[in-house]
Amino acid sequence: MSNNASASPQVSYATRVIGVIVLVVIVFIALDKTPSTLFILKDPIGDLTSVFATLILASLFLERAIEVFLSAWRSGDADTKDQAIMELATKIEARVSAGEPHADLKGETDQLDALRMQRVKYSADSREIAQWLGLGMGVMIAFVGVRVLGNIVTPPAPAGGFQMKAFIVVDILLTGAVLAGGSDAINKIMKLYNSFMTGTEKKATANAQKAAADAQKATAEAQKAATDAQKAAAAGQPGAAPGGGQ
């Protein structure tokens, strides 16, 4: 326990140091290379829906491929461990049902706990392998051209310059990480985007309707004012003089 407690602050400190070093390196590179500002494409909002759909489709294929790889690689050992746990648990339950004291089953229960811990660790290792496989394959997918930033902003110029190369690298890593997060994460981002766009559209529609109502009200008031002015002008004209006899 004390080793874990002492290791945690060391890991946290090392993480902070690495983060500071990365930030300092990025700042010095920016000062040296002076990268230019990128411009947003003409209609990135309209294109984001198709971008999200493409990412979700690619992520679904990626998840299925990872599932197949892990199933062929680790499912056999996982089934063996599950079978051993089930058999030992059944054996212990049968001996308890027969009235055997729990003290006599300490060896078996300790063995069962150890098997369960091994199974938990095996599952954790499988998840870690799946994450790294997803990141690697996601980066490969982004490498061949399925990317995020390239569909939102214009790539920097010149084509072979440092900023262009850095842009491609960052785009590949970002897209690979997004794909590795799975289709559920991308779907959540898409739902958030759709919710924002729906709210913006409703607000714009309400503002347009209000503006139209205000315009109609102003037109009606102008027409009423014009009618009142005509009536006032007609009332202010002198009446026709009575004709005199000869």
Structure tokens at 69: 């790889």
Residue 201: band (very low, low, confident or very high) from pLDDT cuts 50, 70, 90: low
CA dist 114 → 81, 154, 244 (Å): 11, 56, 130
The string of pLDDT tens digits covering residues 69-126 is 888 888 888 888 889 889 888 888 888 887 777 777 778 888 888 999 998 998 888 8
pTM as predicted:
0.61
The string of pLDDT tens digits covering residues 112-165 is 889 999 989 988 888 888 889 888 999 999 998 888 888 888 877 777 788 888
SS3 of 154-198: CCCCCCCCHHHHHHHHHHHHHHHHHHHCCHHHHHHHHHHHHHHHH
